[in-house]
Amino acid sequence: MDIVMPKLGIMLKGKIVKWLKAEGDYVQAGEGLFTIETEKVTHTVRSPVSGVVVRILHPQGSVVPVGQVVAIIQEGEAATVHVPADEERGIAARTVMYSIPLEGVKGVTAHRMLESSRKSPRAAVGLDILMDEAISIRKRMADAGKKISLTDLVIWAVSRSLEANRVVNSVALDDCVQVFEQINVGFAVDTPKGLMVPVIPEANKKEVTEIAALRADLTKRVQEFSHSETDITGGTFTVSNLGTLGIDRLIPIVNPGEAAILGVGRIGPRAIVRGGAVGIGQVMEVWLAFDHRAINGAEAARFLADLKNRLEDPKEGGLKE
Amino acid sequence: MRLLRVQFKDARHNLAFEEAMCLASGGPTLRLWRNPPTAVIGYAQFARAEVNLETCMQYGVQVVRRHTGGGAVYHDYGNLNYSVVVPRSSGIVKGKLSSVYRRLLAPVLLALEELGVAADIRDTNSVFVGGTKVGGSSAHLGETAFFFHGTLLLNADLTMLWRVLTPLKEYECPAGSVASRRVPVTNLSEVIGCPLNVPRLEALVVRGFEKVLCSHAIPTEPSREEMELEMNLFDTKYSRDWWNLEGRMGRDVRGQM
């Protein structure tokens, strides 16, 4: 539905002094949408319908003639409204697949967690992953001319594990957890200008070789600072690998707008127990840091267990060489 | 028409009550009130670009955002503030906004005329005597009511006014916010050249509004609804820095206004 600049008295145009909702926000019928000011008279324009604000056509501060469309609202319930992707600009779509109301135990947990840490309450879970099989697959693929890195393999596995554990691919807002439909995996890159997080859109729909190609390209672009805004927009989950810098384990800070981040440590030989005997295995330690409002410990643990299984036996986990 | 003399010692309560009046279903109302030393900024203003916050802190001047538009003003006990609520259906608030202001400022001009001061309206909604401003006004169009309020400088501390309303140079008014217009101001006591008979001016302002709104002003206590709304608005908004100083805009607003 088109929202137009209303007429106050016989005014011809109004200045939008505040947007009370942003694009992507849900607005209820009768709730304030924006405030206009004209000749020192303020007036809050309320939404005539319930739905999601899909487009704001005039930013704060614009003077808009009466009758002109200022915003578009897609009518519907909060949980079912689909926000179309901005294909023209090529931003990886990041739309809400479903919302989980923060009610009952989850609501109580959310509020307690928030109260205890004042901001988003963080927690982390970690485990060791045996990488012997992944390393040999990687070698086999390299021999066949398909070069992938272990980070590519981790991103591939993460995207599949997110698909199986949807709640990890989300963000906690004040009153709900929004679970995203797309799985857009960001990966932290140390660039001369600082930490950048380019995004692989819908990594779960890409094979590991595609992920490798895209990641190499994105890394190069952010390193050279020749990337576009779209390359670093729309992430729903982040992987931070400091293993290449020799770090055994890291518990990163969750990116704002996301609910979890995976810290990947170095792969190295460790003593492991196999069939009652001590042997040597190539082990990688991973930690999932998460916003406890969105994800519970058990959910985080299930995600990590899924990731471990996939990386310890990538073929079984669905990897196509 | 109800006549309220509700006045708090804390300016934030006074401004919260203004919005409460506008939201409550109290019918046509006139409120006369005063504020302690306060910089009152307009709804869409950027506090730092309008007010010298350091000076305010130094002199104990409060900074409070109002829910109506326009620029920053300075209040102290040397100001007289008046507020009016009329239903949106009332004929007095129909037509051009400049005409609405003219009709609602007429009682003030009438009162000043009685005191022998020839005042006129300039810049749509300011009261001028000669070339000098003695009062301003602004408004809010609510769901059911039109809310209008204004202030008159009787014998305010003008040195403090300029100290407070001279922001530090480095703070520029950001795009999208409303900048104040800085014009010469004076006190009515200066204009008259003798101490002002304030109770008489108040009585004249009341009489002026009675005439223009064709309604007798009956002194009343605020309604329970108004007091509850005031308390709620104070707790959630007017006692908060995000409202008074930041007036948070954009993405992080999350419908808080």
Q: How confident is the model at residue A104 (pLDDT cuts 50, 70, 90)?
A: low
Query: Which chain B residues touch A8 with a CB distance below 8 Å?
Result: 97, 141
CB B147 within 8 Å of CB B21: yes
A13 touches chain B (CB under 8 A): no
What pLDDT score was predicted for residue B248? 47
In terms of CA atoms, which chain A residue is nearest residue B91?
A9
Residue that wins the pLDDT comparison between A77 and B53: B53
Q: How confident is the model at residue A203 (pLDDT cuts 50, 70, 90)?
A: very high
**Nearest chain B Cα distance for residue A37, angstroms:** 6
Query: Which chain A residues touch B255 with a CB distance below 8 Å?
Result: 20-21, 25, 27, 31-32
pLDDT digits (tens, 9 = 90+) for A132-163: 999 999 999 999 999 999 999 999 999 999 99
In terms of CA atoms, which chain B residue is nearest residue A41?
B139
What pLDDT score was predicted for residue B155? 92
What pLDDT score was predicted for residue A317? 86
Of A243, A242, A232, A251, nearest in space to A186 by CA: A232
Among candidates A8, A35, A40 on the partner chain, residue whose Cβ is nearest the Cβ of B138: A40
Residue that wins the pLDDT comparison between B12 and A86: B12
Q: What is the mean pLDDT of residues B198-225?
A: 92
Among candidates B100, B178, B254 on the partner chain, residue whose Cβ is nearest the Cβ of A37: B178
Q: How confident is the model at residue A66 (pLDDT cuts 50, 70, 90)?
A: confident
What pLDDT score was predicted for residue A298? 95
Question: How much is the ipTM here?
Answer: 0.79
* Domain range B2-253, CATH class: alpha beta
A43/B176 touch (CB, cutoff 8 Å), yes or no: no
Domains of chain A: 2-84 (2.40.50.100), 120-312 (3.30.559.10)
Query: Which chain A residues touch B139 with a CB distance below 8 Å?
Result: 40-42
Query: Which chain A residues touch B177 with a CB distance below 8 Å?
Result: 17, 61
Average pLDDT for chain A: 85
Among candidates A25, A27, A40 on the partner chain, residue whose Cβ is nearest the Cβ of B70: A40
Query: Which chain A residues touch B254 with a CB distance below 8 Å?
Result: 25, 173-174
| Dihedrals phi, psi of B243, to nearest 5 degrees | -85, -50
Q: What is the mean pLDDT of residues A207-225?
A: 92
What pLDDT score was predicted for residue B78? 93
What pLDDT score was predicted for residue B252? 32
pLDDT digits (tens, 9 = 90+) for A7-52: 877 677 889 988 999 888 899 989 999 999 888 889 999 999 998 8
**Nearest chain B Cα distance for residue A38, angstroms:** 8
In terms of CA atoms, which chain B residue is nearest residue A173?
B254
DSSP run (H or E) holding B204: helix B198-213
What pLDDT score was predicted for residue B251? 30
Is pLDDT above 80 for A91?
A: no
Query: Which chain A residues touch B257 with a CB distance below 8 Å?
Result: 18, 20, 32, 35, 44
Residue that wins the pLDDT comparison between A22 and A169: A169
Is pLDDT above 70 for A94?
A: no
How many residue pairs from chains A and B have C-beta atoms closer than 8 A? 100
Is pLDDT above 60 for B29?
A: yes
Query: Which chain B residues touch A5 with a CB distance below 8 Å?
Result: none
- State the amino acid at position A103 in one-letter form: E
What pLDDT score was predicted for residue A38? 86
In terms of CA atoms, which chain A residue is nearest residue B253?
A20
**Nearest chain A Cα distance for residue B195, angstroms:** 32
A17/B137 touch (CB, cutoff 8 Å), yes or no: no
Q: How confident is the model at residue A81 (pLDDT cuts 50, 70, 90)?
A: low
pLDDT digits (tens, 9 = 90+) for B105-146: 999 999 999 988 999 999 889 999 988 999 999 999 998 899
Q: How confident is the model at residue B257 (pLDDT cuts 50, 70, 90)?
A: very low
Residue that wins the pLDDT comparison between A195 and A101: A195
Average pLDDT for chain B: 89
**Range with lowest mean pLDDT among B11-15, B49-53, B179-183:** B179-183
What pLDDT score was predicted for residue B187? 94
Q: What is the mean pLDDT of residues A109-134?
A: 75
On the CB side of A253, how many CA atoms lie within 13 Å of its CA? Answer: 5
pLDDT digits (tens, 9 = 90+) for B139-197: 999 988 999 999 999 999 999 999 999 888 777 777 667 888 888 999 999 988 888 88
Q: How confident is the model at residue A176 (pLDDT cuts 50, 70, 90)?
A: confident
What pLDDT score was predicted for residue B156? 94
**Nearest chain B Cα distance for residue A47, angstroms:** 12
A9/B94 touch (CB, cutoff 8 Å), yes or no: yes
Tell which of A7, A10, A39 to mutate to test the B interface (max B CBs under 10 Å): A39
Q: How confident is the model at residue A117 (pLDDT cuts 50, 70, 90)?
A: low
